Amino acid sequence: MTKSILTFYFICLNTFLYSQNINITGRVLDVESKKPIPDVLIIVNHNIIAYSDINGKYILELPKSFKNEIVFSHISYETKSYNLNNLVNHSEISLKNTNNYLDEIVISSTKISKKEILKIATKNYKNKIRKESYWSSVNLKQVLKYKDSVPCYLEVDGNLFSLGDDRNVWNWPILVPEESRRTKENFIKSKAEKKLLKERNQLYSNFGLESFNSAFLLHYGFFENGHPLSKNGRNLYRFSIKNTIELDNEKCYVINYEAKKPITKIKSWPFYKIRGQIIVTKENLTLKKITSLFRRFKKNKEDGIDVIFTINYQLINDIIYPKNISYDIKFPQFESKGILNFKNIYEAKIENYRKKISSNRYLFRFSEVYNKYNSLYWKSKPLRSEFLINELNSIFNKKNTDSIFLEGAKQKIFVKKNELNLEQPEKKILSLMYRDMN
């Protein structure tokens, strides 16, 4: 009895601690002119968590126990770091303008110019990035936030077909689920094309996976087309080396970048204010990590979609692959936030895949695998993810998770008439996938 009481106590204490967050609202100003500085990146552990708006305003929500440094970074200004207590007491940040560009300074310890660092890093990226298409086993965790609520959670263990160097965004990768768990998704697709979501009691049962396909895979495709170290990217951005750091026991250079123009066109689509950081190893200038923030819009910036990517890379047999990708995609009405972990890379070259696989990103929305829940499979697999901790706690604390996922699996599926005939294409892709991986 005493043990049960203690267990209950610690669960409640843990929930209480997680719920204690601090909201910080501040501004970033030029130290001399006192004018607001827009587009300042706010970074924790080399991940972009927020940025300042056109008025220099920023908003942060962090746990009271938060101990990491909070970094304010802009390509044209000095970088400043704060701990949580300092930031609470001094939320107005003043930055000093610098004109520290690539060709003006030499790194004294290595006797290599900043311009040369970028040149070699770009060459290494070109020569080492995987160019052929490949399969990789992945784990996807994703939450969808609508207004101030988190109405659904999606997790998939499966395989992702990546296009390698074929960066035609109209041939998007395919996520093939093997096991899935998801909560009931309280969304409905509106009849009006301009309004994606409506508040009703009806259910739209595959919104999580559709959001991953339509939002993440689409924007990631555009990002790869304009990657700062790609041939195309080198012409789109200006760069500045800020400092050196140690990451995973390796000394690295941190390179800030931002688009040369306010509006950048990639594959004829307009993107607004692209900026971020690149981290390359100091020893051989190989890409290790990148963060990117941009806004995509069709007609005007106010109706745009804000996108934040953080991508960690890994070297396998001297070839660069993604290790994990965290993303935060903010639509006008909802937010899609997730992390995609690559567990295995199947390196075998796939011949003539365009003739064998139709890159239909919606193919597996209605698959039997996606729409079932195997509680035994997920029993030993943790839900927690540091990147999604606040959102996950709001869903799962004090709740029976098995019953939540069972409700999602039993949710009625709405299938359009023109999407009913998917059984044969699905089986075909599964057979090709297993053949290629084996």
pLDDT (0 to 100) of residue 423: 65
Q: Give the residue from 138, 140, 134 showing the smallest Cα distance to 166.
A: 134
Q: Could you read off the pLDDT of 255-265 as tens digits, one per residue?
A: 999 999 888 88
Phi and psi at residue 311, to the nearest 5°:
-120, 120
pLDDT (0 to 100) of residue 309: 92
Q: Give the residue from 433, 429, 381, 372 showing the smallest Cα distance to 406.
A: 372
Question: CB–CB of 74/95 below 8 Å?
Answer: yes
pLDDT in tens, the chain (438 residues): 444 443 333 344 344 444 467 888 999 999 999 999 988 989 888 888 888 988 999 988 888 878 888 999 888 898 899 988 888 888 899 999 886 555 444 454 556 788 899 999 999 999 999 888 889 999 999 998 877 777 789 999 999 988 777 666 556 778 889 999 998 876 655 444 444 454 444 445 567 887 888 788 888 888 888 899 988 787 899 998 878 888 889 999 999 999 998 888 887 888 888 999 999 999 899 999 999 999 887 666 667 888 999 999 999 999 999 999 999 998 877 889 999 999 999 988 887 776 666 556 667 777 778 878 999 999 989 888 888 888 888 888 777 788 889 888 887 665 555 555 566 677 878 888 888 887
The rounded distance, in Å, linking the Cα atoms of 48 and 269 is 23
> What stretch(es) of the chain map to CATH 2.60.40?
2-95
pLDDT (0 to 100) of residue 109: 54
pTM: 0.83
Phi and psi at residue 360, to the nearest 5°:
-85, 105
Dihedral Cα 221, 226, 227, 231, nearest 10 deg:
130
pLDDT (0 to 100) of residue 193: 40
Question: CB–CB of 51/293 below 8 Å?
Answer: yes
pLDDT (0 to 100) of residue 265: 86
| Whole-number Cα distances in Å, 267 to 218, 232, 258, 421 | 12, 11, 18, 32
CATH of span 2-95: 2.60.40
Q: Could you read off the pLDDT of 22-77 as tens digits, one per residue?
A: 888 999 999 999 999 988 989 888 888 888 988 999 988 888 878 888 999 888 89
Q: Give the residue from 370, 408, 375, 422 showing the smallest Cα distance to 156.
A: 370
pLDDT (0 to 100) of residue 326: 94
